[in-house]
Structure 1
Amino acid sequence: MLLADKTVVVSGVGTGLGHEVAAACVREGAGVALGARTEANLAACADAVDPGGAHSTYRVCDIRDEEQCAALAALARERFGGIDAVVHVAALDTVMGGLEDADLAEWQRVLDVNLLGTLRMTRACLPALKAAGAERGDGSVVMIGTQSSVAPPTQVRQAAYAASKGALVAAMYSLARELGPYGIRVNTVQPGWMWGPMVEAYVAWTAESEGVAPEVVRGRMEERMALPRLAEDGDVAETAVFFASGRARGITGQCLLVNAGELMR
């Protein structure tokens, strides 16, 4: 198992990618500390991925709050003895549109979650990550970015979200240099269109507005992919697990697109 005897903190656990990351981490042998703003989502996820509760724990955590970030990190240490990796799924992606008519206060809110929130959670985990790096030479920070930060889609416009995730990539490069001497790796998974609850809802909405079947909308999307199919939440979760594992111990400061070949760089 890729994460045997490791402890992973996962932020942003809900019904989509966060759930899939939690499930993959438990399956691969990790003890998992789950955080999100909604306790019902946390409880449902923990029950689904670890029915006996032997390999998971959770607490409500809003990554805009430093004390809550510190409390989630402390819970992971208390329950499992340390932190080997943190996977940042928590994000705000509901602010739509571009710059011209934007409410920049909304952009600020997006940056506070997606950029600063990720950095708050990382900093809360750093003492334990440094200990893991010193003991085993392999701590890991895994960020979830987006393909839209390098190639914005034409179908929807999320300039604030793309900008915040682009800033997170810039932060990743600096952190990879800063934390590398402690044996901590920092990498980013960049999903494209990712089949899961959010994209399913988009496809259903588009199909209804155009008066066509959802399969027609999904088919148009898949035509742009090299495979051709849409990558799924689970594909992105598997990549995050790889980055968190010792299989990636020689990789830091890298972005990996998970997009079924829609964009190749």
Structure 2
Amino acid sequence: MLLRISPQNRAHIICLCAALLLLITWAYLTVLPQKQHPVIAEDDGANQIVHTLDGPLPAPHPRYFCLSPLSTHLDARFAKPTWPTAPERQASLIRLLHSFVGTMQDVGITTWIAHGSLLAWHWNARIFPWEWDLDVHVNLRGLQELVSCCNGSVYKYGIEGKYMLDVNAFVWERDGMVDPANRIDARWIDLATGLYVDITAVEEADDAEGEGLLVAKDGHRYRKRDVLPLGAARFEGVEVLVPRNVTVVLGNEYGREALVRSVFRGFRFHEDLREWEAIISDMTSS
């Protein structure tokens, strides 16, 4: 049976559909927050610069940093097809640290060690022997400066070392719950191994009591007075910055036990030598 629609009714239906389309468009633009969208563009085929365009937020986003199938702590683009030995990994991480700290000093960006790297510094100012990456914080303004000056740049360090600063294309989305696959803001990557420094930015906020906080996209929150002013320290022979109250920062993140537990991941801390020594079995350390 063929349904006949009069010209008058057809006009009403068209108007109704148009109104519905306008309503959907209005709801989309109203409900979704407006953000500055980055567009990655190549500069002379070498440096990547983030430009911004106005537009609604599309989320969630795909993971920006691709990881190697060998390890979640290796960048898939530069990792070798075989695992690095423990001594190779340790030596590479030390060079990674030195190159990162030196470069950040050269470009004038303030950064400080965080998370597992800060915990390792607390024990003996050495990288944990089981560690696969390094962690640092930078303030949000510092991250913005890195985007402008250094994103995609490759830096030489030492005789053969080459390292790249790679800023996540979705750094403008600061809510890690909305964008869980991109909670790391940038990485300093060893092009020879795929090992990297995780860089996360913190920005100022207030809690319910009005106390100043520093908040990262990955959900970590610090009282501003526990972090600032930063203090100078030495880590693997290079001068770094650490939070003002390291014990409180680490205790809040890992619990007090992490500051005194001397057996972990198959290693025991030797007080006299101030070193982590491998033990036969790590069954009691998990």
| Relative contact order higher in (CA < 8 Å, ≥ 6 apart) | 1
Please give the range of the TM-score, normalised by the shorter of the 2 chains: under 0.3
TM-score computed with the length of structure 1 as normaliser: 0.25
TM-score computed with the length of structure 2 as normaliser: 0.24
